[in-house]
Amino acid sequence: MNFAARVPTVEVTDLKDGDFLLDVREDDEWQAGHAQGALHIPISEFVARYGELTEAAPQDGRVHVICRSGGRSAQVTMYLVQQGIDAVNVDGGMQVWQAAGREVITDDGQPGFVL
């Protein structure tokens, strides 16, 4: 069976303003540009910083996991699902996010880009 076929997935166009977004890209990618309001926990630090997610995520809400193209976020999504968290992978990641015309900003609110 294909690994990707088992990962719960949503399209960028399905996301609404206010949906909880977890960005698992590394620091340099985040600094180049990210979605406003996303929680940033790099995949390389995810297990050690897992508590930050459980504190920030909505109690009964869904966690939308995103990376550059969808590979790393699929891994984190599967981990979260195994922990009993309602999590979905954002298909195509930040590349599709930006291509769909969604805002990409830097930490100081300036226009950013997907690295």
Residues 6+ apart with CB under 8 A from 69: 92, 93, 94, 95
**Which of 4-13, 38-47, 54-63 holds the top average pLDDT?**
38-47
CA nearest to 81, candidates 62, 101, 59: 62
pTM for the whole structure: 0.93
- Where in the sequence numbering do the catalytic residues fall? 67
Of the pLDDT bands very low, low, confident and very high (cuts 50, 70, 90), residue 1 is very low
C-alpha–C-alpha distance, residues 91 and 23, integer Å? 13
- Asked if pLDDT for residue 92 goes beyond 90, the answer is yes
What average pLDDT is seen over the chain?
A: 94
3-state secondary structure 12-56: HHHCCCCCEEEECCCHHHHHHCECCCCEECCHHHCCCCHHHHHHH
Q: What is the pLDDT of residues 23-42, one digit of tens each?
A: 999 999 999 999 999 999 99
